[in-house]
Amino acid sequence: MTAPIAIIGTGIAGLSAAQALHAAGQNVELFDKSRGSGGRMASKRSDAGSLDLGAQYFTARDRRFAEVVQQWRDRGWVAEWSPSLYNFSEGRLLPSPDEQIRWVGTPRMSAITRALLGALPVNFACRITEVFRGERHWGLQDAEGLSHGPFSHVIVATPAPQATALLAAAPKLAGAAASVAMEPTWAVAMGFSEPLDTRVEGCFLQDSALEWVARNRSKPGRESSLDTWVLHATNTWSKQHLDLPKETVIEHLHGAFAETIGCAVPAPSFSLAHRWLYARPSQAHQWGALADADLGLYACGDWCLSGRVEGAWLSGQEAARRLLEHL
């Protein structure tokens, strides 16, 4: 039997590649430092129900992605979310409806990667620290000092700053990953025992510490006894307040929320904060994926394309395509 292909990262990019390779009859084995799949599309289970702390929704503009999203919808993994949309600018909160179709995982964002993972072999809570080349095969070393392998190829599907060290065997790829800056985002979730007296279900903001707020409970399938909200700070505010304690971040962003939402905002009965260090690439690229086909080392992720769910999925497809092309 030929050695399997290792995929580091079970976000949407890694799982997109895994699916494409599996469908082509290849064996894959996945690794993730977290306890579950999803990466930046993960959902947090909490006393206030499940909360989408990272990606809020996604759009499908590419034909290939749009087709696959229809299949996900037919299987019940995703549904359309049509929030009552607002925009906050120059101190004014105004309705801002549009025709854009927006998708969410159901009953939570992480449902998508969980379904894509299916029964594929995976090692969770396993942080890979080194990707090394043996005589004929690849091996992985994890943070506990354990070795994994042999593997025929390796796909690195982590954010660029985490990919750089893992790509050291291919200096060109490592250099490209090192050139990508990624911006942080502070996310705060809040739950109110009495529903807030507002029609807002999603709001884009300018001139605020916040860039986005969403009524999490308005998404399809989200069960919660509380009126749950997710707030995202701008990258600039997040960078300036990177090391604030979580309680202070909650206090600041609760204040910014209360200033914009146009109704009374009491103290929440539930709150939490999460810092995404590598939330989005500071610029888009047109790489598709990175490949050293002779070595058998590949990289993919949102940072190779658009910094969105769609870009991450397309990048995973591209890494798989290039790998299969070279078999």
**Residue 8 in marked binding region:** no
With binding defined as CB under 6 A, does residue 204 bind ligand NAD?
Answer: yes
279 exposure class (CB count in 10 Å sphere: 0-12, 13-18, 19+): buried
Tell me how far apart the alpha carbons of residues 269 and 106 are, in angstroms, rounded to a whole number. 25
Of the candidates 32, 10, 30, 61, the one whose C-alpha atom is nearest the C-alpha of residue 314 is 61
Tell me how far apart the alpha carbons of residues 270 and 261 are, in angstroms, rounded to a whole number. 18
Binding partner at 159 among ligand FAD, ligand NAD, none, C-beta below 5 to 8 Å by kind: ligand FAD
Each residue 308-327 as x (binds ligand NAD by CB under 6 A) or -, in order, gives x-------------------
279 or 297, CB closer to ligand FAD?
279
175: CB partners within 8 A, 6+ apart: none
159 or 296, CB closer to ligand FAD?
159
Smallest gap from residue 183 Cβ to ligand NAD (A) = 7
Answer for which of 96, 198, 218, 224 binds ligand NAD (CB under 6 A) is: 96
DSSP string of 114-183, one letter each residue:
HHHHTT--EE-S--EEEEEE-SSSEEEEETTS-EEEEESEEEE-S-HHHHHHHTTTSHHHHHHHHT--EE
Tell me how far apart the alpha carbons of residues 35 and 21 are, in angstroms, rounded to a whole number. 23
Give me the residues that bind ligand FAD (CB under 6 A), please. 8-14, 31-34, 39-41, 54-58, 127-128, 157-159, 162, 185, 187, 232, 276, 279-280, 301-302, 307-309, 312
Binding partner at 9 among ligand FAD, ligand NAD, none, C-beta below 5 to 8 Å by kind: ligand FAD
**Residue 207 in marked binding region:** no
Binding partner at 105 among ligand FAD, ligand NAD, none, C-beta below 5 to 8 Å by kind: none
Smallest gap from residue 16 Cβ to ligand FAD (A) = 8
237: CB partners within 8 A, 6+ apart: 186, 209, 210
With binding defined as CB under 6 A, does residue 285 bind ligand NAD?
Answer: no
> Residue 89: how many CA atoms within 13 Å on its side-chain side?
6
Cβ atoms of 49 and 224 closer than 8 Å: yes
Q: What is the DSSP letter of 37?
A: S
Binding partner at 96 among ligand NAD, ligand FAD, none, C-beta below 5 to 8 Å by kind: ligand NAD
With binding defined as CB under 6 A, does residue 241 bind ligand NAD?
Answer: no
With binding defined as CB under 6 A, does residue 269 bind ligand NAD?
Answer: no
- Residues in touch with ligand NAD (CB under 6 A): 58-59, 85, 87, 96, 98, 100, 185, 204, 232, 279-280, 307-308
